[in-house]
Structures are given as structure tokens and as C-alpha cells.
Structure 1
């Protein structure tokens, strides 16, 4: 989520940078240096790195400090002998991003601060059968307000909100989410009418961004190309190439759940037949077996698998085979070296990984000399809601002047 700054800057129509916009541009350049430093950086180092004068750096630093975008922390010796200098780093107070997620076992809300640290994470069990979209979104809005109130006590202000949904999104319109029974639901408008201005995105895409950020923070920066596959209500994929999310021409890429794995297979709620979702979703793995009232379906599956329940083990085997078949097509086309099992699949990875890997090894042309890694996602079932929150705060990380203008 720390995309490199591109100094296109706010410009006038004729392309010239106006004086007032040059001031904003310089501020963003300095902020991006602090953001990318990874450790406290001194004013002297900033002047050297940006080519700006020391008085300009001092003015910008004071503005960022006053706006609670950065804080003074520790000292830096600049690698040379002499007097230690005060370091500048991102603040853990001030602006915050809110993420919301609709997942197989319920609803989730997450708040992250400017550093990307999770400051609030809540979950509420929910059932979707027979519920109108408005009822689900109203419940989510209540969770969002509770989350914003909780972090306000920590001197954090939620700036923007992003909702993760299991289906293709067109702006704030959820075009199709068969597992929820949604079609053309204006989720963004609905939440906006409730006083919650919200961007809406596909949950697998947001989860992939969350995993990319987690890998970067965990010093696994080599993980910049992978396919993240999310299990749960539906099955989606987030594809990352060279550190960038691949969305497709209209932003609808990654609908792995509706890739055909058996042309004459079982009917799918989307209207087609033999879709991956009909073999590997949570509902498919449960196979119609009852879930105790209030129980988490994912936990029920893993508990039954651990107990050696024959039907559950057979369903997981079938799911892993179907998943491996679908993923093999993606890997043959895109030449990716890593598969991350996320969402519900992360909890079931002990039973899925070997089967998925076996299918990939059998079907991917290059697997014999370039083995594909299959492993559970770092963030588990929380990847989408964390990715949504990170996407929200990234708007301020990339354009800090937006936050500063609000403070003025």
C-alpha cells in the first residue's frame, strides 16, 4: 500500500505548476520520503534526499506535525559522527481508515491508523438467507459507527470507508453477488444515505492488497506476484503482478468461483453449471449438513475434519481437486509462482494444500522446473477487512493535503 510517489502534482490546465500547488507538491514529496523511509528520518536527511532547502523542510515538517500526520520520534545519527538529530516518522494519531467486510460467517469492521497498524477489529456473526441487502448494510453501518467511536477515544478520526463484497463491483454498485442473492445493489449509495460515505470493492482484490502490504511489512518483499484465492460465501481471486493489483479492463477480474471445472456439472446460482463455487465454497463443503445455531460454518468444517468425519474429508478432497484445476488455468496463463489460500480456505489449508498442489503439479506446464508454492495467506480470514481499511487510509498516505485541508 506504499506505492511510489509520482510527481505529477496538481497542475493548471496548461500544465504549469502554480505557486500554491508547488507548495502542496513539495509537501507531498517530503511526506512520501517519510512514508517510505521505514524508520525515523531527520530534517537534514530530508533536505538532502529531496533537494529542498532546510527552511522549506522545516516549514513542511511543522505543518505535518501540526496536522498529526507525522511525529518526532527518537534520534538518528545519519550514519556519521556528530550531534544526533531528531527523527520524523508517521503518526499513530490523526487520520484513520475504516474497512467493512461481508464474509461467510458474518460481518467485520476494522480500523487502521496511518502507519497501517490495526487499531480496532470487530466481528458479528450473521446469516444471509432470506435477508434483504438493506438489512445487512444497515447492520454494517452500525458496526462502522461503533468502530469510529471506539477509535475516537484513541485520538483517531476515520477519514474514509471501504466495503468488501463477494462479487464484481461497478463503482458503488454490486453487480452480482450470487451467494448473497444480490444483483445490482447500490451498496455505496445506501451506506451514503445512512451518513457513511463508502467506496465498494471486491473482497478478493482487497484481501490481495492486504496480503501484499503484510508481506512488505514482514520483509517478504520478494512476494510481489501471486494469486490470492478467497473461500467463503463465494470464491474470488486477487491477482498481483509486479506489486500491482490486476483488475482487468472493467475492474471485474478474479471471478475464479465462476470458472467452469465440470462443463456438465452441478447448477450454480449464477445461472451456469459446473462452476468452481459449486464444489469448493463453504456451503458446498458442508454439503447440506446442518450447522448448529450460532456456530461458525468454517469452524464446524475444521472440527469435523479433525474428528475424521468421512463426508467432510471427502468434500474437502473434492474442493481441493476443483480448486487445483481452476488455479492451474490461471497459472498457465499468468506464470505466477505463489498461490495464497485465503478467507475460509486459510482455515482449511491443512486439508486443501496437498490436493491443490498435486493438481497444479499435474496440470501446470512449467511446474516440473519451476514449482508453484501453495500456502495459507498471512492475514487469514481477516485479509479482506484489513485490506479494505488499508485502502481507505492509503488515500491519505498518497494525498496528505486532503487531510490537512480538512484540518484548516
Structure 2
């Protein structure tokens, strides 16, 4: 059984549990889940050693997690260990799954990720969403969600939650899109439009991209500035492993930082915003190319073939990114900058001018810049994994939803 959408408010990853006996039990269940998830497989004794509880206490917790389908036993541990071999535990490849969805300017996407982090089902629709009313777009997204959920259920999974990434400002209620300039949406309650019956949370696509980088990236530090660059340009600041959201939850609108105060008008109402110089469509205009599907692929092919107009447009976009990032780096002093989103695929031509601007304009030592290996998949994967992390953070409550 799933909780009706209007009643469900899943917590963001990392929420605090109360210091009651029940809260302590729930925290310990979470500690067991995180320990097993981090290692892939562990015995009860190894779990007890890692989290500092007695074997008897861990065994009780493990039995509960097995009964609710969150852990499973794989059989005896590998040979070669001293003493009686224990039974290896792993998070279940069945049971809860995180459903991630993305509303892009030119696409919709949905995927299901199991507790082991594997993508088990996926659906994508390419097509322009800019200028369309929210209702038909969300109807199409709902159909994709139902298709992915049905495919996941055939593999023994059930949806623990639905997280939707959008290119815009999201209210603290985690369901209302306050403003998405590149979609032309304002004050849109996705909770009222997404009729799936699955617990819902909505967040900015750059935030989900940053979380994906934090959880799935290679050697990602706990403090970094993540830039998600596509048709729009967003950013997310991660400090000590947590998103910096701002008072109203709107932190990270790098694309609307002005780089030329008297520049061209932007859909946000400002002028000379970064998106007008470094967004996908801006780069196409500067290169003299017509919009179409796979904009990044087109630009990359032309750049590889030596098209000087494209290369110049990308150099200029990299310079604009560097100018905008300079202010953020000087203000926040992050450990690194990570370039994600679709423009990560254009990094060979963007990074030289971007790094040059940062080096010339940053007050302190040059800030390292890296490219996300997740690329344009980051927001979608981050959305799905945010649900998975919520299961690991509070397995007792999530299991009760399906009881």
C-alpha cells in the first residue's frame, strides 16, 4: 500500500530522528543499512564491529530488516576466514526503489533505482516543453512514471518515493515550482498535478545534480560548487556534505548572475545574464547554428571538425562561465568546482577559457575545476538516489509505508 500523494511529505536525506527509544532503534536500523550498503556485503559480526553495537543487538536489527525485505542473506562468507563463517548480508535487490524524474526544457525522463544503486527501468521522451502549459507536460510525465513503476514492479520492486528535478526555483514545501523561466512556469503545484499516489518531493535540477556528484562521483570532496549547464545554467553549493539552500531555498541561480549588465534581455527579467552567453541556445546562436535535438552532440562534432565559429562560441561561453564563477569562488572559497550537465560534454573547448578567467580574477589560489562523469544524467540519478538515501536514512518508516 502506498501513501496518498497529498498526505506524504518524505524527508530530505540526513534528517534528524528523535532521541526516544523508538528514535534510537530507527537510527540503529539506519546505521545497519548504511554499513551494509557502503560495503556491498557484510556479516553480522562485521556490521557490529563497524557501528559499535553488540552482535546480539545487530542480529535483532538485521532480522527485522530481513523481514521487511530491506536486507537479504547471500549465504556463507567467502572461505579463508578464521572461525565459523558468518552469513553475508546485502541490501535487497528487490523491495523499495527510488523513482527519479526530470522535467527538462527539451525532454522528460524517468528512472527506477534499487537499493543497490542499479538503474532497473528507464523511460525518456524528447520534445520541447518550453511555452507549454504545465498540465499536459505533467500528464506526459505521469504516464512515463507509471510505465517505469510497472516495469520495476515486474522485477519485484515497489516505489518508495518519487523525486522530480525541475529547471527552476522550488518552494520549501518541495512540491511547488515558484518560477521556471525557461519553461515559463510560475507558482505550479506539481503535487496537485502528479496523480501517481507515490510520496513526492520536487527540487531544482542543479541540486539533484550536485547530490548525484556527492554520492556517485569519484573522489568528490565534501565542499564544492556544482555547475549544471544546459539550456539554462544552475549551480548548487555543497558545504560539509550538505546542500546550501538559502533562506527561501533558492540558492544557486548562477545562470542569472549578470556578466554584462547592459547585455541582452533574459526570460528572468534581467539583462546580460550568464545564460545569455553560456547556455546551449546562446552558444548555438553565437556559432550561427540552428536549434534541434542533441545540441551538445552537434556542437561537439563541429568543434572536433575544427569549425572555428563553434570553437570561438565555446571559448566565449567558457569565459562567461569563468567570470560568473569568479564571484562565487571569491565569496564561498569552495574546495573545487565541478562542471556537470549537458555542457560537461563540451569541456575540452570550454575549460581553457573558463580556467583562465578564474585564475586571472580569483583573489586566492586558483580553484580546481573538474568535469562530472555523470554529465547530463546527474539530475535524474540524483533525484532517484535521493529516495534511496531516504530509505537508508529511515528504513523503519519507509518499510511501514508498504506494510
Tell me whether the two structures share a fold, i.e. TM-score over 0.5. yes
- Superposed CA offset, 1:47-78 (max 9, x none): 45556554443332222112221112354489
Which secondary structure does the structure 1 equivalent of 2:216 belong to?
A: helix
Q: Please say if residues 29 and 394 of structure 2, whose CA atoms lie closer than 8 Å, have aligned partners that are also in contact.
A: no
Distance in 1 between residues matched to 2:180 and 2:202, nearest whole Å: 13
Distance in 1 between residues matched to 2:137 and 2:402, nearest whole Å: 33
Deviation at 1:309, TM superposition (A): 2.9
Q: Please say if residues 227 and 336 of structure 1, whose CA atoms lie closer than 8 Å, have aligned partners that are also in contact.
A: yes
Report the CA distance shift for 1:347/1:33 in structure 2 as closer, same or farther (over 3 A).
closer
Distance in 2 between residues matched to 1:274 and 1:81, nearest whole Å: 68
- Corresponding residue for residue 154 of structure 1: 155
Q: Please say if residues 103 and 232 of structure 1, whose CA atoms lie closer than 8 Å, have aligned partners that are also in contact.
A: no
Q: Please say if residues 40 and 76 of structure 1, whose CA atoms lie closer than 8 Å, have aligned partners that are also in contact.
A: no
Which secondary structure does the structure 2 equivalent of 1:185 belong to?
A: strand
Distance in 2 between residues matched to 1:365 and 1:232, nearest whole Å: 28
Which residue, out of 175, 181, 185, partners 1:182?
Answer: 185
Unaligned stretches of 5+ residues in structure 2:
1-11
Which secondary structure does the structure 1 equivalent of 2:364 belong to?
A: helix
- Corresponding residue for residue 32 of structure 2: 30
- Superposed CA offset, 1:117-138 (max 9, x none): 2222332211124421111111
Report the CA distance shift for 1:58/1:337 in structure 2 as closer, same or farther (over 3 A).
closer
Which secondary structure does the structure 2 equivalent of 1:391 belong to?
A: helix
1:256-295 alignment, distance < 5 Å: 256-287=254-285, 289-292=289-292, 295=293
- Corresponding residue for residue 374 of structure 1: 369
Distance in 2 between residues matched to 1:79 and 1:244, nearest whole Å: 40
1:297-308 alignment, distance < 5 Å: 297-308=295-306
- Corresponding residue for residue 328 of structure 1: 326
Mean alpha-carbon deviation: is it higher for 124-133 or for 353-362?
124-133
Distance in 2 between residues matched to 1:283 and 1:50, nearest whole Å: 50
1:8-407 alignment, distance < 5 Å: 9-10=17-18, 17-18=20-21, 23-36=25-38, 38-49=39-50, 52-73=53-74, 75-76=76-77, 81-170=82-171, 171=173, 172-191=175-194, 193=195, 195-215=197-217, 218=218, 220=219, 223-287=221-285, 289-292=289-292, 295-367=293-365, 371-407=366-402
Unaligned stretches of 5+ residues in structure 1:
12-16
Distance in 2 between residues matched to 1:341 and 1:151, nearest whole Å: 31
- Normalising by structure 1, we get a TM-score of 0.87
Mean alpha-carbon deviation: is it higher for 128-137 or for 164-173?
128-137
Q: Please say if residues 95 and 156 of structure 1, whose CA atoms lie closer than 8 Å, have aligned partners that are also in contact.
A: yes
Report the CA distance shift for 1:265/1:91 in structure 2 as closer, same or farther (over 3 A).
same
Report the CA distance shift for 1:52/1:339 in structure 2 as closer, same or farther (over 3 A).
closer
Q: Please say if residues 106 and 130 of structure 2, whose CA atoms lie closer than 8 Å, have aligned partners that are also in contact.
A: no
Q: Please say if residues 40 and 75 of structure 1, whose CA atoms lie closer than 8 Å, have aligned partners that are also in contact.
A: no
Cα RMSD (Å) of the superposition?
A: 2.5
- Normalising by structure 2, we get a TM-score of 0.89
- Corresponding residue for residue 14 of structure 1: none
Distance in 2 between residues matched to 1:162 and 1:303, nearest whole Å: 34
